[in-house]
């Protein structure tokens, strides 16, 4: 037991001790009523002393163990929502957050981000380099999303394999598309160092916007469809699910989405 644990448990141990002392007095009075009140003071003294000694001795380990179990449970719950490789939130955490945000009114956009030719990276350079690529992409996504304008929720997660997802709240479609463009530009500018190579990394991004009655899964499927179009049209670009023109997307100025 550490000093901090003892300090945190002290208040509850005192309450437990007082409760046990009150219970022992009630029990003692019952015994005295049945057997007579001879040596009542001695009996009260024994009940008080034993309770004051035994109750804290038993309560402290139990309370501290309970605190440790509760803390371990909280830490385990947190780990279940974190991707171990990239340290981004995982798919479970993404949909939990999306469910919370979708319960509120206001504009919401979801993005599906897929690393281009990732299988070839693993095949040609090995899985260690592939892991390095995923960590680099995750870091870039986190930086761009965290720096986006606006005060709404901005949430990025790895939802499986080489796929990432982003949720942004309170951005209109134009600003959300600019953020998607910044993601493409940012990641494309940062080659990843392999064991003996510098690997150019690009992503394809699909964007979709919540309409009335849409669920997170519906919007993410639309974003996934837009991401597939971006890949089909050449990769290293973004597509909006609401824009069906298959001409190359104009590049919006990335600095427009950077917080001041």
Structure tokens at 251: 């590049």
d(CA 192, CA 171): 31
Identify the helix (H) or strand (E) that includes residue 78.
helix 40-79
Contact 85, 157 (CB under 8 A): no
Residue 256 DSSP symbol: G
Say which residue the tokens 């940012």 belong to.
186
* Catalytic pick among 5, 87, 96, 162: 162
To the query of whether residue 162 is one of the catalytic residues in this protein, the response is yes
In 3D, which of 62, 174, 195 has the Cα closest to residue 129?
Answer: 195
Residue appearing with tokens 């996934």 = 224
Active site residues: 162
């Amino acid at each position: 037991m550490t000093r901090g644990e003892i300090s945190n448990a002290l208040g509850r141990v005192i309450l437990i001790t007082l409760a046990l002392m009150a219970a022992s007095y009630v029990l003692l009075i019952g015994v005295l009523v049945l057997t007579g009140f001879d040596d009542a003071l001695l009996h009260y003294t024994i009940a008080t002393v034993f309770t004051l000694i035994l109750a804290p001795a038993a309560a402290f380990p139990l309370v501290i163990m309970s605190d440790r179990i509760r803390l371990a449970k909280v830490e385990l719950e947190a780990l279940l929502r974190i991707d171990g490789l990239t340290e981004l939130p995982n798919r479970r955490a993404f949909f939990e957050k999306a469910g919370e945000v979708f319960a509120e009114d206001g504009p919401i956009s979801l993005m599906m981000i897929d690393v281009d030719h990732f299988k070839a990276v693993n095949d040609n350079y090995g899985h260690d380099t592939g892991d390095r690529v995923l960590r680099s992409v995750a870091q870039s996504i986190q930086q761009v999303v965290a720096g986006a304008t606006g005060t709404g929720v901005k949430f990025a997660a790895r939802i499986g394999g080489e796929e990432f997802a982003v949720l942004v709240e309170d951005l209109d479609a134009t600003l959300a598309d600019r953020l998607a463009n910044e993601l493409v530009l940012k990641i494309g500018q940062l080659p990843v160092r392999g064991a003996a190579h510098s690997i150019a990394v690009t992503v394809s991004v699909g964007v979709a916007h919540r309409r009335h009655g849409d669920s997170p899964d519906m919007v993410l499927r639309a974003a996934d469809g837009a991401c597939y179009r971006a890949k089909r049209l050449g990769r290293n670009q973004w597509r909006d699910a609401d824009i069906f023109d298959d001409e190359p997307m104009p590049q919006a100025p990335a600095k427009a989405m950077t917080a001041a």
